[in-house]
């Protein structure tokens, strides 16, 4: 029996989503395989499913909690794909309207599709709003810029010697968005008495009475101790 059009599109959608989660799993396996010592393993919650060739790094989350409570890379792809879909329809219409491009329209539209998918994957898995990398004698803080929901690295990076950092500490933050409450463990460096955010991880959501537990505070302190050890504090 032939499938209805609605059923086929539903199957395509499910297959597409399953493919994205498979991609995420493969990226996790690949990048986690590069570095596998105890410190890297301990810092993974602060990776927030972002990937880097750097060994020791932490990120801010960048979850689009107005639209989803999924804090994985796939969850972050919702907005880039929606915006990409709008861009695709506009460009496809323009290509179809220009007679001179009719001969190459299929190739052009295929190129646009690939570009949007690649940009969405890059934004969601490789370009956190903020990434802090720990090297041998300094930390490097990189911020991403954003255009139409797509992230790309800033041309400026902040390099900070370990000796300039007074200490590393943590705090918990409640952030209310349009549809979801989100609760974050945030990691700060303290420089000349001022705190600067270098990483975070969502620890709870949709819980208006949330109070950090003693276990969560202990785990947060363990992360601070590990990062402090990396900078020799």
Average pLDDT over every residue of 123-130:
89
Is the pLDDT assigned to residue 83 strictly greater than 80? yes
Helical segments of the chain, H only: 5-34, 38-43, 73-76, 78-97, 105-126, 214-230
Average pLDDT over every residue of 149-165:
86
- The candidate with the shortest Cα–Cα distance to 97, out of 14, 23, 89, is 89
Residue 71: what pLDDT? 67
Span of 49-63, 65-79, 146-160, 189-203 with lowest mean pLDDT:
65-79
User: How many domains does the chain divide into?
Assistant: 1
Is the pLDDT assigned to residue 130 strictly greater than 60? yes
Tens of pLDDT, residues 16-51: 778 888 888 888 888 877 777 889 999 999 998 899
Residue 35: what pLDDT? 74
Tens of pLDDT, residues 57-80: 999 886 554 445 566 777 788 888
* Dist CA 44 CA 6 (whole Å): 40
Structural domain range at position 74: 5-230
Residue 3: what pLDDT? 52
Query: Tokens for 143?
Result: 């911020």
The answer to pTM > 0.85 is no
């Amino acid at each position: 029996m032939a499938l209805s059009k609605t059923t086929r599109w539903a199957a395509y959608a499910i297959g597409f989503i399953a493919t994205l989660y498979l991609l995420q799993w493969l990226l996790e396996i690949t990048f986690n395989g590069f570095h596998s010592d105890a410190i890297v393993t301990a810092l993974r919650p602060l990776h927030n499913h972002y990937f880097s060739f750097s060994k020791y790094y932490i990120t801010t989350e960048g979850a689009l909690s107005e639209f989803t409570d999924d804090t994985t890379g796939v969850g972050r792809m919702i907005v880039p794909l929606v915006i990409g879909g709008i861009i695709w329809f506009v460009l496809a219409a323009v290509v179809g309207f220009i007679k001179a491009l009719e001969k190459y329209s299929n190739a052009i539209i295929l190129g646009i599709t690939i570009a949007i998918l690649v940009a969405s994957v890059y934004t969601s898995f490789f370009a956190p709003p903020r990434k802090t990398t720990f090297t041998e004698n300094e930390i490097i803080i990189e911020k991403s810029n954003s255009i139409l929901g797509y992230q790309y690295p800033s041309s400026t990076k902040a390099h900070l010697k370990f000796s300039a950092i007074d200490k590393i500490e943590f705090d918990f933050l409640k952030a209310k968005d349009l549809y979801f409450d989100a609760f974050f463990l945030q990691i700060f460096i303290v420089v000349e008495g001022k705190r600067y955010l270098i990483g975070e991880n969502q620890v709870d959501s949709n819980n208006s009475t949330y109070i950090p537990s003693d276990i969560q505070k202990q785990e947060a302190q363990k992360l601070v101790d590990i990062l402090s050890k990396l900078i020799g504090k």
